[in-house]
Chains A and B, each alone.
Chain A
Amino acid sequence: MALKALDVYKLLPKKNCKECGDPTCLTFAMKLASGKADVDLCPYLDEEAKSVLGATTRPPIRLVKVGVGERSFAVGEEFVLYRHDKTFYHPPGILFKVSDTWEPEAITSATVRVRDEFFTRIGTDLRFDGIAIENTSGSPDSFARAVSVVEESADLPLVLMASNMEALNAALIQVGSYQPLIHAATKENFREMCAHAKKHSCPLVVKAQRLDDLTALVKNCVAEGVKKLVMDLCPQFPGDFITTSTAVRQLAITRAVPDLGYPVFIDATDPHLQDAKIALGIVKYASVIITPPLSAASAKAALTLRQNIYTDPQKPIQMNPGLYRVGSPGKDAPVLMTVNFSLTFFTLQGYLESTRVPCFMLIVDTEGLSVLTAVAAGKLNETLVRDSIKKFEVEKEVSHKTLIIPGYSAPLSGRIEEATGWKVMVGPRDAAEIGEFLHQEWKKTKDQKQ
């Protein structure tokens, strides 16, 4: 089990020398305890303390980087079996697979898609992470050619899938310096594979169906000097993947079998069960997911599921505060104020769009807290509303001064009126009822004016 901060502190020199970069040993201890610092940073630890601390404070699933510099992604550094226990930290890389038996145009097209395609959700651009090239032909020349076709079109993180050493070599000559992920080392070929991996400092996939074989393979590769490892569990069926991946995760995080503490690989290419495998990979701990070039619908759904599962449950995603338009609101359009918690924003926006009433959404900065929480914590208050109205120049956009506030912020209505000089209408508690509210209450005020 991981050590607690106090226990870590006890093993530190307690000099507060600041050489690790932190002001006190206490701070360093807390970071170590949450796996957020490298034990090597402390120059005054003896080897024994270091190994005890290192073993128990480094992330149970090691961090592995695929690629270099800009063309890379990092996976691993995970601590929990359930995202709700803390969070999942590094979203899996999802890569399109191309085969060296394909026509060059097909290879290029897939590469260009990964290079250019993205899909924006909640202010984030979601994209795929690289290209996997498979030596289906077995021929070194075909493989080398395929690799060069990919390289012509983009600088992406790569996975090289070959069991023929010559083919692998041919590919590595071209792209070895970009540290592609090599798939895969087995009981039979690990020495050669490790040699190749070591030569270019590439991360290496190790592949075995049984856990004890996998553990042995890991040990062997580490002994050969290759520490950046990713594990292919060789599941026979999707159900197997769930079972094995869960076992691996559990054994790693309890540190029962530290040698299984590496990111997991899954090849989701399957004529019938591709989307199922991708989804399973995302929710059941896969860190590298290989897929065929996906349809637009599959792509969007997969990227969204990945984004959802890898969101920190304790850190709500926030919108940028501001004045947002729904449709083309004019000078007499309603202004609806709410918080910048993304779920609130999108839920309200969705309902507003379906009412077809053009309006403004005034999104205030409650640091991502929901309406109820923000009101209870005092983060949503009349000062914030007043300042937001000023900052986003709402009074320039509309000729009226009526603000609709969420139902749960009713206790603030009077104070908001006083602070802003605007009239406040208390809207429904449930965003689903906003349509009815606008069509009845808002309409009433408009009619009254006329």
Chain B
Amino acid sequence: MVYDLNFGWNGAIGQVILGATRAEGGTRNISYRIGGGTTLPFLDGNPSSPSPLVALEICDNPEYWSPIIKNYCGDLVDNVHEWATAAEKIYKADLVRLYLTSTRQRNFSDISSVGKTIETVLSATALPLIIEGSNEPKIDSEVYLKCGETAQGERLLLGTAEAGRYRSIAAAALAYNHSLIAQSPIDVNLAKQLNILLREIGMQRDHIMIDPYTGALGYGFEYSYSAMERIRFSALKGDTDLAMPVICSAIDSLNIKEVREGDPALQDEMAIQWEFYTGIAAAVAGAEIICVRHPKTVAMLKNAFSGMRSGSGSSEVKE
């Protein structure tokens, strides 16, 4: 007997393309189609929607990064080229997310260094890239121009647009055909509003990913979890302004008390488990890209995703 569930869904999540292969005008080895689901994650019997992708987060100035990572990765963190290569070859991430933490220094103005860093990472790894701009709105215009221009043709995912701060990142996305991350403070209506603002400035829906802001497990994660479920639910009910794939990055995970102040011998384990439980719950709520910082979490999450459906289907391969 087949039970008719009848959720009343008639919408689908939009599809964002990240990464461009040589045939598409870029230099990546692979290009991902992200999103496209027509049900809650993992709910359709066939693995028709791709499994979530796992991105490893790295940065170009580890001064601003968690000591746990510096401890685990060693000298790697001082060389963004090697770190990016390791992300692909050793840690087997699906994507690399580069944070330009060097721009956090006071009075940062060396925009050309931003270009160089991006070129370095583009040559270090052939994975599609996510590039996180600076913290300082004053230099947004130049930083995003540099990011967009340097990686022209590679179909990046640029981060992160917010309600009061989205013009430069949108400009770079529009000028150089990249996609962007739209972040809102764990509020579904604000997420929708931001998407509308972005549309008004010319962004196409299939170039936007939603970041509902992910609080660390134990520090607001449940709010983010419910925001993700609500976004997915609204999208499936036909709300096109929320029908974008979701990206989850609980960046505070390694800073929280339980992880920071735990037994030093267990620190790596704590970091990994914290990121893992957050990531897998987020994936079930609808996140299509899960970002983590501890290299071992990557393997754990990928293993879990491929184990979901009869051992097949990890990252979606270019059609």
Direct chain A–B contact by Cβ atoms under 8 Å: yes
Is the CB–CB distance between A301 and B45 below 8 Å? no
* Interface size class of chain B, counting residues whose CB lies under 8 Å from the partner chain: 35 or more
- Select from chain B the residue with minimum beta-carbon distance to A119: B258
- A236 CA to B309 CA, complexed, in Å: 9
- A250 CA to B284 CA, complexed, in Å: 16
Given the interface pairs A239-B309, A250-B5, the reply to whether A275 lies near B219 with Cβ below 8 Å is: no
**Which of B96-104, B143-151, B198-206, B300-308 is found at the contact surface with chain A?**
B300-308
- A346 CA to B220 CA, complexed, in Å: 10
Given the interface pairs A251-B5, A275-B277, A275-B300, the reply to whether A280 lies near B284 with Cβ below 8 Å is: yes
Is the CB–CB distance between B255 and A308 below 8 Å? no
Mark each residue of chain B from 38 to 63: 1 if its CB lies under 8 Å from any CB of chain A, else 0: 00111101000000000000000000
B217 in the interface (beta carbon within 8 A): yes
Is the CB–CB distance between A296 and B269 below 8 Å? yes
Is the CB–CB distance between B266 and A307 below 8 Å? no
Which residues in B have their C-beta under 8 angstroms from that of A83? 222, 225-226, 229
Which residues in B have their C-beta under 8 angstroms from that of A308? 217-218, 221-222, 225
Which residues in B have their C-beta under 8 angstroms from that of A313? 222-223, 226
Is the CB–CB distance between B280 and A280 below 8 Å? yes
Which residues in A have their C-beta under 8 angstroms from that of B76? none
Mark each residue of chain A from 152 to 187: 1 if its CB lies under 8 Å from any CB of chain B, else 0: 000000000000000000000000000000000000
- A243 CA to B44 CA, complexed, in Å: 7
B139 in the interface (beta carbon within 8 A): no
How close is A228's CB to chain B, nearest CB, in angstroms? 24
**Which of A38-46, A347-355, A441-449 is found at the contact surface with chain B?**
A347-355
B273 in the interface (beta carbon within 8 A): yes
A121 in the interface (beta carbon within 8 A): yes
Is the CB–CB distance between B40 and A246 below 8 Å? yes
Is the CB–CB distance between B276 and A275 below 8 Å? yes
A55 in the interface (beta carbon within 8 A): no
Is the CB–CB distance between A297 and B226 below 8 Å? no
Which residues in A have their C-beta under 8 angstroms from that of B107? none
Contact of B281 among A211, A238, A283, A295 (CB under 8 A): A283
How close is A303's CB to chain B, nearest CB, in angstroms? 9
Mark each residue of chain B from 259 to 291: 1 if its CB lies under 8 Å from any CB of chain A, else 0: 000010010011011101110110011000000
- A122 CA to B310 CA, complexed, in Å: 39
- A250 CA to B218 CA, complexed, in Å: 28
Given the interface pairs A313-B222, A347-B219, the reply to whether A243 lies near B273 with Cβ below 8 Å is: no
Mark each residue of chain A from 87 to 108: 1 if its CB lies under 8 Å from any CB of chain B, else 0: 0000000000000000000000
- A82 CA to B222 CA, complexed, in Å: 12
How close is B212's CB to chain A, nearest CB, in angstroms? 12
Is the CB–CB distance between B266 and A242 below 8 Å? no
How close is B251's CB to chain A, nearest CB, in angstroms? 11
* Interface size class of chain A, counting residues whose CB lies under 8 Å from the partner chain: 35 or more
Is the CB–CB distance between A211 and B258 below 8 Å? no
How close is B97's CB to chain A, nearest CB, in angstroms? 20
B233 in the interface (beta carbon within 8 A): yes
- A307 CA to B280 CA, complexed, in Å: 16
Is the CB–CB distance between A272 and B303 below 8 Å? yes
A17 in the interface (beta carbon within 8 A): no
- A257 CA to B307 CA, complexed, in Å: 30
- Select from chain B the residue with minimum beta-carbon distance to A242: B42
Is the CB–CB distance between B43 and A246 below 8 Å? yes
Mark each residue of chain A from 296 to 318: 1 if its CB lies under 8 Å from any CB of chain B, else 0: 11101110110111010100000
Mark each residue of chain A from 198 to 217: 1 if its CB lies under 8 Å from any CB of chain B, else 0: 00000000000001100000
B257 in the interface (beta carbon within 8 A): yes
Is the CB–CB distance between A283 and B284 below 8 Å? yes
Interface on chain A toward B: helix, strand, loop, or mixed SS? helix
How close is A387's CB to chain B, nearest CB, in angstroms? 29
Which residues in B have their C-beta under 8 angstroms from that of A343? 215, 219-220, 223
A256 in the interface (beta carbon within 8 A): yes
Is the CB–CB distance between B304 and A283 below 8 Å? no
Is the CB–CB distance between A84 and B229 below 8 Å? yes
Is the CB–CB distance between A350 and B226 below 8 Å? no
Given the interface pairs A121-B218, A237-B310, A251-B3, the reply to whether A279 lies near B280 with Cβ below 8 Å is: yes
Which residues in B have their C-beta under 8 angstroms from that of A82? 226, 229-230, 233
Interface positions of A from 269 to 295, Cβ below 8 Å from B:
272-273, 275-276, 279-280, 282-284, 295
Is the CB–CB distance between A239 and B42 below 8 Å? yes
Which residues in B have their C-beta under 8 angstroms from that of A354? 255
Mark each residue of chain B from 208 to 237: 1 if its CB lies under 8 Å from any CB of chain A, else 0: 000000010111111101100110010000
- A438 CA to B15 CA, complexed, in Å: 45
B111 in the interface (beta carbon within 8 A): no
- Select from chain B the residue with minimum beta-carbon distance to A343: B220
- Select from chain B the residue with minimum beta-carbon distance to A212: B1
- A275 CA to B303 CA, complexed, in Å: 11
- A162 CA to B26 CA, complexed, in Å: 59
Which residue, B3, B233, B255, B276, has most C-beta atoms of chain A within 10 A? B3
Given the interface pairs A211-B1, A298-B273, the reply to whether A350 lies near B219 with Cβ below 8 Å is: yes
Is the CB–CB distance between A297 and B266 below 8 Å? yes
A195 in the interface (beta carbon within 8 A): no
How close is B160's CB to chain A, nearest CB, in angstroms? 15
Which residues in B have their C-beta under 8 angstroms from that of A11? none
Given the interface pairs A242-B42, A350-B257, the reply to whether A273 lies near B273 with Cβ below 8 Å is: no
Mark each residue of chain B from 58 to 97: 1 if its CB lies under 8 Å from any CB of chain A, else 0: 0000000000000000000000000000000000000000
Is the CB–CB distance between A257 and B3 below 8 Å? yes
Which residue, A257, A301, A347, A354, has most C-beta atoms of chain B within 10 A? A301
Which residues in B have their C-beta under 8 angstroms from that of A121? 218, 258
Is the CB–CB distance between B308 and A250 below 8 Å? no
A247 in the interface (beta carbon within 8 A): yes
- A211 CA to B2 CA, complexed, in Å: 8
- A394 CA to B230 CA, complexed, in Å: 43
How close is A50's CB to chain B, nearest CB, in angstroms? 28
How close is B267's CB to chain A, nearest CB, in angstroms? 9
Is the CB–CB distance between B258 and A300 below 8 Å? yes
Is the CB–CB distance between B3 and A211 below 8 Å? yes
Is the CB–CB distance between A243 and B303 below 8 Å? no
How close is B81's CB to chain A, nearest CB, in angstroms? 30
12 inter-chain pairs at a CB distance below 8 angstroms, sorted by A residue, are: A83-B225, A236-B310, A242-B41, A243-B45, A257-B3, A273-B303, A280-B284, A283-B281, A295-B273, A300-B258, A301-B277, A308-B221
Known: A237-B311, A309-B222. 8 other contacts (CB 8 A): A237-B308, A238-B304, A242-B308, A247-B3, A257-B3, A276-B280, A283-B284, A349-B257
